[in-house]
Structure 1
Amino acid sequence: MAPAGATALHSSLCSLSPHKPSSPNSQQPNTQLSPTKPKSLLQKHPLYTPTHTKLSLEFKEKILCLEIMGVDSGKALSVNPDLRTATMESIHSIISFLHSKGIQQNDLPRILGMCPKILTSSIKYELGPVFDFLSQDLKVPDRSFRRVINKCPRLLTSSVKDQLKPALFYLQRLGFKDLSALAYQDSVLLVSNVERTLIPKLKFLVNLGFSKEETRDMVLRCPALLTFSIDNNFQPKLEFFVEVMGRKLEELKEFPQYFAFSLENRIKPRHMEIVQSGINMPLSLMLRSTDDEFRELIKRKTGG
């Protein structure tokens, strides 16, 4: 039986059926949307124009349902064309299923906005196996499903067999043993393609001159290294590090978090202050300190 929340969603958010007038003696408050409000909302939507008068009532209802849930229906329909032919019943069943797994109504705008494909996924063959993976492979308790999915909604659109399990196996071989960290902090690694995303980052670091063991230690200390773009992150920051800062690669081995800081907003301005002050400062101290702490460090080292 569908959860009450899903039933309420169907009746009060997504139904455009005319409501029967209440009996004069009825004391029950009408909590459903009035017939005029849905019409008004629909008429303001870009798809509800004189040129789209042939849209079916169910399609208009679908648009309204998405918009009231806080999902941009135009974007959702564009990203996931299958939504155009999906039935309202199938959409309701998916929302009911998500509710049953602890996903709350106010989580849906972000989750479905990022991954509208969820709305046309198979509960049995796609969504269900993801929650089984969280429970059985990552040891996530049912009460924590919401936290994990909110952290990385893309989990719900990833194949357990072709993506999640291979990524987990590869990461564990690298040395990622903390399942809690993978579930709650670094879950984006699980939805990263092993061949196209993870391995190229490791190869790039090895090609800089680090050994495989050193590279492994670097990514274990800073898992975000496996998510950074080689062209837009690694390459420009490395060039600045070597050519402008004149520092040795040994420092990157000790402080791989360097690549996590903004080149324009953090690395460059702080390097310039150090140069102008004529002092030396460890890379980690230079970047990790707050603005106030950094100024105090400069002041102390210059005797100001």
Structure 2
Amino acid sequence: MSAAAATALQSSLRISSQKPSSSPGSSQQPNSLSAAKPKSLLHKHPLYSSTHQNLSLQIKEKILCLEIMGIDSGKALSLNPSLHTTSLHSIHSIISFLQSKGIHQKDFPRIFGMCPKILTSNIKTDLNPVFSFLSQDLHVPENNYRKVINKCPRLLASSVRDQLKPALFYLQRLGFKDLEALAYQDPVLLVSSVEHTLIPKLKFLESIGFSTKEATSMVLRCPGLFTFSIENNYKPKFEYFNEEMKGELEELKEFPQFFAFSLEKRIKPRHIEVMQSGVKLGLANMLRSTDDGFKELLREGGNR
């Protein structure tokens, strides 16, 4: 591609980032995508190699558009094959729409990198309902859309009818009443499958001896429990707690955050030190304290 052609193409890909009146206080964004990767880097992209000379101009334009935005085009095209056939006009429309909702241009690499499916969404049937859900169901004001979307870009790739509303209903039925916390701290729970993710985590806690009420209380106190893998987190940690630490379920009920700590880097080494010292130390003090604080606890002989 000649320098003149590249310049013309770059000009054709310009996307206005003028902020709407509904997003006061937002920082001024660049007027185009031209501030991203140098064109020389684009020609080194695998899809530009001599073995891909038969790529259409349309695909090359999309690659350039994605790369200028800071998105790995190869990964995006691989994860979302529909990008091969969607038009640049459609991509630009989605970007403009998100900018109208307060999303900044600098947010796009992470958002689209995590969820390239968004680039081929339907604004009317896919994206608009998500923002209506944020506003009407979670009571998120327009000027905070960006904060929520950046926390969990997968929201934009989730069906409101089939995913977000059922998850919210289930979580509220369990006792999650703080909508602000769900929106800004734990939105990942809303994009988690009720049937395949949320319910199995509760069932596992029940399977190791907790009642339904106790298991529910634990996830309400530590929502992160819903995000941990049963095979890679729960099972090995509980096995160590039960067999090596000889712990009681009451301890886990009081300190469910136990499952949030690394087994190899935190739980095992600190438990070994506690055993060697002969000091009696509760789970919370053993795991929550800093390295210096932990050593101080051992020197002082245990819980304070």
Shorter-chain TM-score: which interval? 0.7 to 0.9
Is the contact between residue 70 and residue 109 of structure 2 (CA under 8 Å) also seen in structure 1?
A: yes
Identity of aligned residues (%): 71
The question of 1:94 aligning with 2:113 is answered no
Tell me, in whole angstroms, the C-alpha distance in 1 between the residues paired with 2:159 and 2:233. 28
Structure 1 partner of 2:109: 109
Tell me, in whole angstroms, the C-alpha distance in 2 between the residues paired with 1:33 and 1:243. 57
- Shift of the alpha carbon at 1:265? 0.6
- Shift of the alpha carbon at 1:40? 3.2
Structure 2 partner of 1:158: 158
Structure 2 partner of 1:146: 146
Letter in 2 for 1:296: E
Please list every run of 5 or more consecutive structure 1 residues that lacks an aligned counterpart in the other structure: 1-8, 16-30
- Shift of the alpha carbon at 1:132? 0.5
Letter in 2 for 1:228: F
Encode CA deviations 1:216-258: one digit per residue, 9 max, x unaligned: 1100000111111111000000000010011111100110010
Structure 2 partner of 1:178: 178
- TM-score, normalising length: structure 1: 0.87
Letter in 2 for 1:248: E
- Shift of the alpha carbon at 1:52? 1.7
Letter in 1 for 2:96: S
Is the contact between residue 33 and residue 68 of structure 2 (CA under 8 Å) also seen in structure 1?
A: no
CA distance 1:161–1:292, shift in 2 (3 Å)? same
Encode CA deviations 1:23-51: one digit per residue, 9 max, x unaligned: xxxxxxxx9899xx976343211101222
The question of 1:40 aligning with 2:40 is answered yes
Structure 2 partner of 1:237: 237
Structure 1 partner of 2:21: none
CA distance 1:193–1:166, shift in 2 (3 Å)? same
Tell me, in whole angstroms, the C-alpha distance in 2 between the residues paired with 1:269 and 1:183. 36
- Shift of the alpha carbon at 1:289? 0.6
Is the contact between residue 14 and residue 33 of structure 2 (CA under 8 Å) also seen in structure 1?
A: no
SS in 2 for 1:246: coil
- TM-score, normalising length: structure 2: 0.87
Letter in 1 for 2:112: L
Please list every run of 5 or more consecutive structure 2 residues that lacks an aligned counterpart in the other structure: 1-8, 16-30
Tell me, in whole angstroms, the C-alpha distance in 1 between the residues paired with 2:11 and 2:182. 38
CA distance 1:108–1:131, shift in 2 (3 Å)? same
CA distance 1:141–1:175, shift in 2 (3 Å)? same
Is the contact between residue 14 and residue 62 of structure 1 (CA under 8 Å) also seen in structure 2?
A: no
Structure 1 partner of 2:196: 196
Higher Cα Rg: structure 1 or 2? Answer: 1
- Shift of the alpha carbon at 1:146? 0.4
Runs of 4 or more off by more than 3 Å in structure 1?
A: 9-15, 31-34, 37-42
Tell me, in whole angstroms, the C-alpha distance in 2 between the residues paired with 1:95 and 1:129. 16
Is the contact between residue 149 and residue 155 of structure 2 (CA under 8 Å) also seen in structure 1?
A: yes
Is the contact between residue 13 and residue 33 of structure 1 (CA under 8 Å) also seen in structure 2?
A: yes
